[in-house]
């Protein structure tokens, strides 16, 4: 059985996604909705990391339950840089690139949840399946957010 | 005729009535010094414009000047009553400092000019930017105070003519969440309730809605029910001890920013106790299982901790709501301007859907507005929607609109939802919006984080046009100022919260060269040479009535169907509620009767959004979820506010209105009775918080947040501990600097507020910022905050607010003049 590998991979990708959302949030502090929503939904990934670490124990894994944080100094530096660039339109392209990145990362994570759910179903691991059913919709909401925000932001950036 | 000081008695004398009875008539009037109704040359039909209630009134004219007002006895909304702002606010029309000539900036100074020069500058810059960058450079920031005809014309010019997606109103600050919540639950805007539901309800719940101060006449209706036989039970949800709270059967005062937690717990109790109309839900709603699952995790004990409201109170509220037979709910800024605004307001809709309490007498939802014509901003496509509740994401709707306008569908931007106000200011900040035309609103005082807003508006690269009746703080920053006519000086229609359309006729000429807003828009369209696809002028009308006829065609078959209305039909009698068409020639008192909604995917205005991320749902997702046009039950998990109290900023700051002022006081401060009732900014704190710090009533305090500092005198009130309140009306136009603080501390509450908004409705958050408070000086006397309202003092020795001789107004009981002319 390779469920442990799937859990480990998901733990890694959720950790990565949380970090990517937080870093993106800091880079776009002057785009207030992006700044706040990216932080709000990074919490979902952090929560998934903890849950995966917990259930990983049942599969002989020792995963770090503490989601990888962002060093505060770096965080502040990114926010400061964003403030300084607030009057420039250049960050618009960076925003599109970041949203594209989040979309791909979250989509990958979503596929990982699908894999895990399929495996859990086949192996009749009820608790694992329940976890996937709880978490996967949140990943899909992250995907939809990145997609919707990209659509909404693209025109002004590209035509102005 | 009885006379009464309506500053001291804002709601006037009681006329009690019982359930199912007709609200008695009481005609309120105020005429300028010494005049009697016999002195009046003529009465001109209109409705009130300093709040959203839409009370019918007649304007008194003598010697071609407005000299007073009188409520219309025949009107379905107010049965003759008027509020203090209506009785006295009209005096601002006659103010000597009205703008009477266009202004243009020359060598850094605003100087008087003629219309031709001013409009040439406006169209010249617009054309230059269209050539250089295209429509993405152009934006319009409008209001909730123009007339329907003006919004529709503006929407046509901006969306169909200029082709910009950047059109929104200050309604984003007051009513965006009302619209968003209705779109989430019913897939379309449109108010399910009717004001007459007050006559029938046995339970009335006011969520974050200080109705006593925001809609005084509507509150008078509730007071009269409370004074009559078999009164309704009233539940108030508000962190302040408002007049509503004082009359409530039950008052819940949650910690700011926790509304979703509270609402999820209420729904938890309602569902857990089986107070659900299963038949109704089965037949008319989707999403029940998801709602039940979501709220299962929110027991009252959890909410009690987060909201700091006793679990027993939450249970009691759920019991009263759960056992109500005729439930009326109203919602306003305490929910709309707070954390998770749409998710909280949607839960109120959910209560009504699960209880099957819609479309029947006494069973209504009033997702309220703040401004008089906000509903029209929403309907006409001047606020980030397409006209007549068309769906920007539905290609057929866009094609249909293009047919009405005779333009190519590609000319109407619909690649994304129309740009919301906060995003427009962001685009102006980063430099991609370079032309902003502001009408009848004052962002330099009303938007959050004023230091930032002033920086945005004063950029050289932004061409700012301001159309207003006074030289507001924002107008002082403009490149061109266009003097406008106001209510009483132009004709048009507007629609209130419960879909009642009123005609407001021109009573007098505007001062000097001031022009009706409609005429200014028409002049702009003409000068820009805007055409339809056949080369004919894009705007096909030249009068308000012509615009209204054009609008009627645009609404044909849509939820807000106006085709059965006309100026003639609106003249003489009362207001009429839309939809008004061939099937409903006298209008429609209640929509959603028998569980019929406008949510069919091919018809609906919106496919909905994610309540937490704000991401729009796709047509495919919507069809899969709600294929057969039912109501939608959805709920969100609780997220805490983004700025929480800390050691440095231990208080939660909320801002709001007072009864005597409107917006940034441009009109109400020019009405002596209103200005005297609430002459200066104040800071409200709880007695325990003041005692902890040794503060006394009247001490001069500084309130600070990471964004700025404000000073004001302390009023110790019944507000919940840990919360500080500031009224948002006070800016700088009557201060030395004119548009900004003269020192390091200002008096505009928005110096302090945070730039953050609800991702679903895009409404800014004014009700949750972390703040610090310190004393600057000990006081020499009490604060001048009103004593009649939520700012009522809890300590002795504060003289009561009164208006005296100058505020004496008449009150006539039933069956007296005041009806049709």
Task: Judge if ipTM > 0.90.
Answer: yes
In which element (H, E) is residue B353 found? helix B341-354
**Taking all residues of chain B, what is their mean pLDDT, rounded to a whole number?**
96
Helix or strand (DSSP H, E) at B47: strand B42-47
Per the structure, the count of domains in chain A is 1
What confidence score (pLDDT) does residue B101 get? 98
Q: What are the pLDDT digits (tens) for A65-98? A: 888 766 667 777 777 787 777 777 778 899 999 9
Out of A148, A157, A159, the one facing B615 most closely (by C-beta) is A148
Q: Is the pLDDT of residue B817 over 60?
A: no
A73 occurs within a structural domain: no
Q: Does residue A69 fall inside a structural domain? A: no
Model confidence at B759: pLDDT above 80: yes
Residue A23 lies in a domain: yes
- Give the mutation candidate from A47, A83, A89, A144 for the B interface (greatest B CB count, under 10 A): A144
Report d(CA B120, CA A8) in Å as an integer. Answer: 67
B416–A144 CB contact, under 8 Å: no
Give a yes or no: residue A58 inside a domain. yes
**Nearest Cβ partner of B613 from A31, A89, A145?**
A145
Question: What average pLDDT does the structure give for chain A?
Answer: 92
pTM, full prediction: 0.96
User: In B195-225, which positions are buried (b, 16+ CB within 10 angstroms) versus exposed (e)?
Assistant: bbbbbbbbbbbbbbbbbbbbbbbbbbbbbbb
Question: What tens digit of pLDDT does each residue of B139-154 get?
Answer: 999 999 999 999 999 9
Percent of chain A with pLDDT over 90: 79
**Nearest chain B CA: its distance from A27 CA (Å):** 15
- Is residue B648 over pLDDT 60? yes
Amino acid B153: pLDDT? 98
Neighbours of B21 (CB within 10 A): 14
Residues of A contacting chain B (CB within 8 angstroms) = 30-33, 36-37, 39-41, 43, 86-89, 91-92, 141-142, 144-145, 147-149, 151-152, 155-157, 159-160
Contact yes or no for A149 and B422 at CB 8 A: no
Contact B756 A36 (CB under 8 A): yes
- What pLDDT is attached to residue B35? 94
At B116-130, the pLDDT tens digits run 999 999 999 999 999
Tokens 């980030």 belong to residue? B384
Per CB-CB distance under 8 Å, the chain A contacts of B759 are: 33, 36-37
Task: Check residue B195 and give its pLDDT.
Answer: 98
User: How far is B260 from B207, CA to CA, in rounded Å?
Assistant: 12
Cβ neighbours of A43 in B, within 8 Å: 639
**Secondary structure (3-state) at B244:** helix
Q: What are the chain B neighbours of A30 within 8 Å (beta carbons)?
A: 426, 429-430
Share of chain B above pLDDT 90, in %: 95
Contact B411, B163 (CB under 8 A): yes
d(CA B405, CA B415): 19
For chain B, what percent of residues have pLDDT higher than 70? 99
The answer to whether B187 and B199 have CB atoms below 8 angstroms apart is no
Element of type H or E holding B687: helix B687-693
pLDDT score, position B247:
98
Q: B757 and A33 in contact by Cβ < 8 A?
A: yes
pLDDT tens digits for range B464-508: 999 999 999 999 999 999 999 999 999 999 999 999 999 999 999
- How close does chain A come to B396, measured CA to CA in Å? 20
Identify the CATH number of the domain in which residue A107 sits: 1.20.1260.10
Is residue A124, in this structure, part of any structural domain at all? yes
Given a cut of 50, is residue B818 above it in pLDDT? no
Residues in contact with B83: Cβ distance below 8 Å, sequence separation at least 6, in sequence order: B10, B48, B50, B51, B53, B55, B215, B216, B217, B659
Question: A114 in a domain, yes or no?
Answer: yes
- Is A50 inside a domain boundary? yes
Query: What domain range is A114 assigned to?
Result: 3-62+89-159
Query: What burial letters (b/e) apply to B249-278, b meaning 16+ CB within 10 Å?
Result: bbbbbbbbbbbbbbbbbbbbbbbbeebbee
The b-or-e profile of B545-572 (16+ CB within 10 A means b, else e) is bbbbbbbbebbeebbbbbbbbeeebbee
| Interval B440-445 mean pLDDT | 97
Tell if the CB–CB gap between B430 and A87 is shorter than 8 Å.
yes
Which of A76-90, B235-249, B520-534 is predicted with the least confidence, judged by mean pLDDT? A76-90
Rounded alpha-carbon distances, angstroms, from residue B276 to B207, B270, B280: 21, 7, 9
Q: Which residues of B touch A149 (CB under 8 A)?
A: 615
Q: Which domains are delineated in chain B?
A: 3-96 (2.20.25.90), 103-174+373-595 (3.40.50.740), 176-368+603-632 (3.40.228.10), 651-790 (2.40.40.20)
Q: How confident is the model over B693-721, as a mean pLDDT?
A: 98
Average pLDDT over residues B164-168: 96
Q: Could you tell me if residue A145 is inside a domain?
A: yes
State the pLDDT at residue A16: 96
Test B642 with A156 for CB contact under 8 angstroms.
no
């Amino acid at each position: 059985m390779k469920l442990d590998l799937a859990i480990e991979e998901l733990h890694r990708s959720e950790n990565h996604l949380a970090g990517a959302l937080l870093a993106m949030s800091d880079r776009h502090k002057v785009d207030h909705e992006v700044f706040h929503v990216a932080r709000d939904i990074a919490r979902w990934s952090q929560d998934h990391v903890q849950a995966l670490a917990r259930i990983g124990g049942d599969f002989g894994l020792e995963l770090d339950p503490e989601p990888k944080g962002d060093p505060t100094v770096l965080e502040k530096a990114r926010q400061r840089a964003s403030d300084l660039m607030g009057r420039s339109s250049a960050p618009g392209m960076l925003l599109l690139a970041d949203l594209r990145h989040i979309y791909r990362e979250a989509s990958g994570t979503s596929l990982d949840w699908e894999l895990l759910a399929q495996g859990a179903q086949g192996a009749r691991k009820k608790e694992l399946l329940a976890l996937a059913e709880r978490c996967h919709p949140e990943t899909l909401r992250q995907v939809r957010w990145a997609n919707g925000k990209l659509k909404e932001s693209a025109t002004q950036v590209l035509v102005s | 005729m009885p006379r009464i000081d309506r500053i001291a008695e804002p709601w006037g004398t009681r006329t009690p009535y019982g359930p199912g009875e007709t609200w008695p008539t009481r005609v309120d009037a105020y005429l300028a010094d010494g005049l009697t109704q016999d002195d009046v040359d003529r009465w001109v039909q209109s409705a009130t414009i300093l709040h959203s209630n839409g009370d019918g009134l007649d304007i008194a004219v003598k010697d071609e000047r407005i000299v007073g007002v009188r409520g219309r006895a025949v009107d379905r909304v107010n049965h003759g009553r008027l509020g203090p702002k209506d009785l006295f606010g009209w005096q601002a029309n006659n103010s000597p400092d009205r703008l009477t000539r266009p202004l243009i900036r020359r060598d850094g100074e605003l100087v008087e000019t003629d219309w031709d020069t001013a409009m040439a500058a406006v169209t010249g810059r617009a054309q230059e930017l269209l050539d250089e960058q295209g429509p993405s450079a152009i934006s319009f920031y409008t209001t909730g105070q123009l007339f329907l005809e003006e919004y529709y014309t503006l929407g046509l010019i901006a969306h169909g003519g200029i082709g910009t997606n950047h059109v929104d109103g200050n309604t984003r600050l007051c009513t965006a969440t009302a619209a968003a919540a209705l779109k989430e639950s019913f897939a379309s805007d449109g108010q399910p309730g009717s004001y007459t539901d007050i006559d029938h309800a046995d339970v009335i719940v006011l969520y974050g809605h200080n109705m006593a101060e925001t809609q005084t006449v509507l509150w008078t209706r509730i007071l009269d029910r409370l004074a009559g036989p078999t009164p309704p039970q009233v539940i108030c949800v508000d962190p302040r001890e408002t007049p509503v709270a004082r009359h409530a059967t039950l008052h819940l005062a949650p910690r700011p920013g926790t509304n979703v937690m509270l609402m999820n717990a209420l729904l938890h109790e309602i569902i857990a106790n089986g107070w659900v109309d299963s038949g109704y839900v089965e037949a008319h709603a989707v999403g029940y299982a998801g709602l039940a699952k979501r709220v299962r995790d929110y027991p009252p004990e959890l909410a009690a901790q987060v909201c700091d409201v006793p679990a027993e109170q939450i249970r009691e509220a759920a019991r009263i709501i759960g056992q109500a037979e005729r439930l009326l709910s109203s919602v306003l800024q305490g929910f709309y301007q707070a954390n998770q605004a749409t998710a909280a307001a949607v839960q109120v809709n959910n209560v009504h859907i699960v209880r099957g309490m819609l479309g029947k007498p006494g069973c209504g939802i009033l997702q309220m507005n703040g401004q008089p014509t906000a509903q029209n901003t929403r309907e006409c496509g001047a606020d980030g929607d397409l006209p007549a509740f068309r769906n920007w994401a539905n290609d057929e709707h866009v094609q249909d609109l293009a047919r009405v306008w005779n333009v190519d569908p590609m000319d109407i931007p619909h690649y994304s939802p129309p740009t919301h106000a906060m995003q427009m200011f962001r685009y102006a900040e980063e430099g991609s919006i370079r032309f902003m035309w502001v009408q009848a609103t004052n962002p330099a005082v009303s938007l959050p984080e004023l230091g930032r807003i002033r920086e945005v508006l004063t950029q050289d690269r932004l061409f700012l046009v301001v159309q207003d009746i006074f030289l507001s703080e924002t107008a002082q920053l403009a490149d061109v100022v266009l003097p406008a006519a106001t209510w009483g000086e132009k004709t048009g229609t507007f629609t209130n919260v419960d879909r009642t359309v009123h005609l407001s006729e021109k009573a007098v000429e505007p001062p000097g060269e001031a022009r009706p807003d409609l005429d200014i828009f028409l002049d702009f369209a003409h000068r820009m040479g805007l055409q339809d696809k056949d080369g004919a002028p894009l705007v096909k009308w030249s009068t308000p009535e012509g615009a209204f006829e054009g609008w009627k065609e645009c609404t044909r078959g849509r939820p807000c169907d106006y085709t059965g209305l006309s100026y003639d039909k609106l003249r003489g009698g009362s207001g009429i509620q839309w939809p008004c068409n061939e099937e409903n020639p006298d209008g429609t008192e209640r929509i959603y009767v028998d569980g019929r909604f406008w949510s069919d995917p091919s018809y609906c205005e919106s496919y909905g959004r994610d309540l937490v991320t704000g991401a729009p749902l796709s047509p495919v997702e919507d069809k899969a979820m709600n294929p057969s046009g039912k109501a939608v039950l959805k709920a969100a998990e609780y997220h805490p506010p983004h700025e929480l109290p800390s050691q440095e900023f231990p208080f939660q700051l909320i801002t709001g209105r007072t009864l005597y002022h409107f917006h940034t006081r441009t009109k109400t401060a020019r009405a002596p009775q209103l200005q005297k009732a609430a002459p200066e900014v104040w800071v409200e704190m709880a007695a325990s918080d003041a005692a902890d710090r040794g503060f006394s009533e009247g001490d001069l305090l500084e309130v600070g947040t990471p964004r700025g500092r404000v000073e004001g005198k302390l009023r110790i009130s019944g507000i919940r501990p840990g919360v500080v309140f500031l009224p948002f009306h006070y800016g700088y136009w009557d201060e030395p600097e004119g548009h900004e603080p003269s020192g390091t501390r200002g008096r505009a509450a928005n110096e302090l507020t945070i730039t953050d908004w609800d991702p679903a409705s895009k409404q800014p958050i004014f009700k949750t910022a972390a703040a610090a408070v310190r004393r600057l000086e000990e006081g020499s006397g009490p604060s001048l905050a009103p004593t009649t309202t939520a700012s009522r003092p809890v300590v002795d020795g504060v003289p009561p607010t009164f208006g005296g001789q100058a505020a004496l107004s008449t009150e006539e009981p039933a069956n007296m003049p005041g009806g049709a002319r």
